[in-house]
Amino acid sequence: MMNRGFVPRLLVTAGMVAAMLLEPAQSALPAEVDGEAMPTLAPMIERVTPAVVNIATSANVEAQANPLFNDPFFRRFFNIPELPRRRAQASGSGVIVDAKRGLLLTNNHVIANADDIQVKLRDGRIFEAELVGTDPDTDIAVIRIKADGLTEIQIADSSKVRVGDFVVAIGNPFGLGQTVTSGIISALARSGLGIVGYEDFIQTDASINPGNSGGALVNLRGELVGINSAILSQSGGNVGIGFAVPSNMASQIMEQLVQYGEVRRGFLGVEMQDLDPALAEAFGLKQHEGAVVVSVVPESSAAAAGLQAGDVVTRANRVQIRNAADLRNQIGLLRVGDSMELTFLREGRERRASVTVNENPAIATGGELRNERLAGANFGEISPQSRAYGRYQGVMVYDVDVGSEIWRAGVRPGDIIRAVNRVATPTLKAFLEVVNNARGSLLLQIQRGNAAALVVIK
């Protein structure tokens, strides 16, 4: 994603101009060679590109010269007035997946904190978009426009894609307008990158640049296999390593966002880690893939199903589990009340258990939370399924109503609140005690992945 208005310069030397002027017309690539048609992706591209749109967002942000200005205590002590606000603009891409209902998939980071979202179609029409819902943990968002004559893209089964499959990335990089690049699928199920909470990325070498975020990754049939989300780069430019959210994950998230406006993830109640060679040897196992159950939360779904510390989960709903991230992703995509069939090894013998996932029992609801500034959000102890579990002390944000005060302040599901008004909140009880007795603004110390920030809620 990048600021709108950036126009890269296209440099053409005089020698290049002369060469182009002297180039004979006959040197153009022929449509046929020896009577055989030249291979081309043009028919597929022409059919698919109307479903990929440009998304332009804008938001009011404070013109801050110093991060200390975020601190209300600092402002009050030095009698600093409220800072002026400026209009920030950014752009990205989106994909029409349901023409009848006007539903589009994009990235959460494309529209995060935006108070105005505009969608520009390839035919030049521009529409105001309504935010249906977002899921920061997968970096997926759904928006809706009211328009006739939309073209939708068909969604492929991303579980069937293979390394080496040809793919095409379509988006709007650098504000240039719609751009198409091609490549192959370089790897599957990439995780542990620290980009979002639930990672199961498709890796591709198709060029993905700023502004491509939220665009389409399609196969040669023109079917959506992923939503382009991120690149691995030290300079910010494309180096041939791009990541896309698989279409299966994106469509599952979309269903929940459309139905509920949020993602209601199930809670299994296990802490887990990868099965490495040392643990496999200790357990007397020949295989080195699986998720090892480290601990089981009492009275959780996992405890009711009989799971124990030391069990090695190898399959979940017939999907192979290679590591803890695989199992975490499978759990995270289930809704509350869904069942999961687990295959696991205990003392070298294969066993099976059916588990019904429930809500996390340690979530604070409005009945316990008496501070109106935090209305619209649910908080709880850090889930064992979270990457923050065991790394930080604090309270996890489980749900945030879009448009609420805490949402407008920038707090998102999955954030860890480590302190309120400079008072540490290592537990839910400590958090509730501080916020319920607080008067005036709240200063939240937020941990999001590896980044920390201060958020003020007035």
Residues contacting 258, CB < 8 A, separation 6+:
103, 132, 133, 142
Catalytic annotation, pick one of 91, 109, 207, 415: 109
pLDDT of 87 higher than 80: no
What pLDDT, in 10s, does the model give residues 157-215?
A: 988 999 999 999 998 876 667 888 889 999 988 876 767 777 788 999 888 877 778 88
Catalytic annotation, pick one of 186, 191, 207, 213: 213
233 catalytic, yes or no? no
pLDDT of 56 higher than 50: yes
Burial of 4 (0-12, 13-18, 19+ CB in 10 A): middle
In percent, the amount of the chain with pLDDT more than 90 equals 25
The more confident residue out of 99 and 70 is: 99
pLDDT of 104 higher than 90: yes
404 catalytic, yes or no? no
Give dist(CA 400, CA 375) in Å, integer: 9
pLDDT of amino acid 444: 92
Provide mean pLDDT across the span 292-310. 85
Give dist(CA 191, CA 189) in Å, integer: 6
pLDDT of 238 higher than 70: no
Q: Are 293 and 313 within 8 A, CB to CB?
A: yes
Catalytic annotation, pick one of 93, 135, 137, 139: 139
What pLDDT, in 10s, does the model give residues 343-358?
A: 999 988 899 999 888 8
71 catalytic, yes or no? no
Tell me 66's DSSP state. Answer: -
Average pLDDT, the chain: 79
Domains and CATH numbers, the chain: 46-144 (2.40.10.10), 158-260 (2.40.10.10), 270-356 (2.30.42.10), 368-457 (2.30.42.10)
Residue 61 pairs in a beta bridge with 86
What pLDDT, in 10s, does the model give residues 391-431?
A: 888 998 887 776 678 888 888 888 899 999 999 999 888 99
Lowest mean pLDDT among 17-21, 46-50, 184-188: 17-21
pLDDT of amino acid 341: 92
pLDDT tier for residue 247 given thresholds of 50, 70 and 90 = very high
